[in-house]
Amino acid sequence: EALIQMEHIVKEYLLGGQVIRALNDVSLLVRHGEFVAIMGPSGSGKSTMMNMIGCLDVPTSGRYVLDGVEVSTLTEDEMAYVRNQKIGFIFQNFNLLPRMTALENVELPMLYMGIPARERRERALEALERVGLKDRIHNRPNELSGGQQQRVAIARAIVNRPSMILGDEPTGALDSKTTEDILALLHELHEQGNTIILVTHDAEVGAHAERVIHFRDGRVESDSLFAYEGES
């Protein structure tokens, strides 16, 4: 069963009366449990692809089925629900709420899902333990290093048990040592069965992924999965 099934996705933007085709007939299949890096030069369509996969924007045409749900026909409210339920986001700048502690930040997505307080606390503690931050749960983001903040964000991303972790340049603000640590953590989560999709131009990230999809001019230029299948 596919997690992501995209068929002939086209995304166009209107800019000053001009049509810009950011995605040009993209078809893609991602299965549960994959670790995918989406790479490519600036302007190749990576961010647009991130917005499509993450149900943050709708395609101009084409079909997108996420975990059995046909996303391309949903209303905005329905999309927001699917997003909360199925996707754990991580970002370059962590996007943590500065006035909340690590624990409170991780509890937040469960608040939106209407999970009772006691269960929220238990699950947030468990998620923070999984990312190795059990001893920093009462710290606010500005009391944590970049790597620690990204760990909090990863805990927040996994706490609702999403169908995938979707990252937008998740190592972009980290030094190379911390990048290695975060990639090791993502690798561990992948081993435990999580699906991970990272949009990045960081070659270090690409080297850790199981599958690398290169975009160019709004199209899939290469997909290492095809290369792999071709060899067998």
Element holding 207 (H helix, E strand): helix 203-208
End-to-end CA distance of the chain: 21
Reduced to 3 states, what is the DSSP secondary structure of residue 209? coil
The stretch among 24-32, 46-54, 86-94, 98-106 that binds ligand ADP (CB under 6 A) is 46-54
22 binds ligand ADP per the rule CB under 6 A? yes
Which residue's CB atom is positioned nearest to ligand ADP?
Answer: 147
Q: Torsion over CA of 51, 55, 58 and 63, rounded to 10 degrees?
A: 110
The answer to whether residue 40 forms part of the interface with ligand ADP (CB under 6 A) is yes
The beta strand positions in 137-204, using DSSP E, are 164-168, 196-199
Contact (Cβ atoms closer than 8 angstroms) between residue 215 and residue 49 = yes
Residues touching ligand ADP, count (CB under 6 A): 19
Note whether 53 and 166 are within 8 A (CB). yes
Binding status of residue 15 toward ligand ADP by CB under 6 A: yes
Helical (H) or strand (E) element with 19: strand 18-31
Contact call for residues 94 and 152 (beta carbons, < 8 A):
yes
> Which residues make Cβ contacts (< 8 Å) with residue 46, sequence separation at least 6?
38, 39, 40, 199, 200, 201, 215
CB of 166 to ligand ADP, least distance (A): 14
Strands (E), 124-210: 164-168, 196-199
Interface residue with ligand ADP among 26, 90, 137, 144 (CB under 6 A) is 144
Judge contact between 140 and 99, C-beta under 8 A.
yes
Does 203 participate in binding ligand ADP (rule CB under 6 A)?
Answer: no
147 is a contact residue toward ligand ADP (CB under 6 A): yes
Rule CB under 6 A: is residue 19 a binding residue for ligand ADP? no
Closer of 15 and 75 to ligand ADP (Cβ): 15
Q: Closest separation between CB of residue 8 and ligand ADP, Å?
A: 18
Q: Which stretch binds ligand ADP (CB under 6 A): 89-97, 137-145, 164-172, 183-191?
A: 137-145
CA distance 63 to 43: 23
Stretch that binds ligand ADP, among 15-23, 71-79, 82-90, 123-131 (CB under 6 A): 15-23
Residue 59 or 160 with smaller CB distance to ligand ADP: 59
Select from 13, 112, 226, 228 the one that contacts ligand ADP (CB under 6 A).
13
Phi and psi torsions of 161, nearest 5°: 50, 65
Stretch that binds ligand ADP, among 70-78, 98-106, 143-151, 187-195 (CB under 6 A): 143-151
Contacts with ligand ADP by CB under 6 A lie at 13, 15, 20, 22, 40, 42-48, 142-145, 147-148, 178
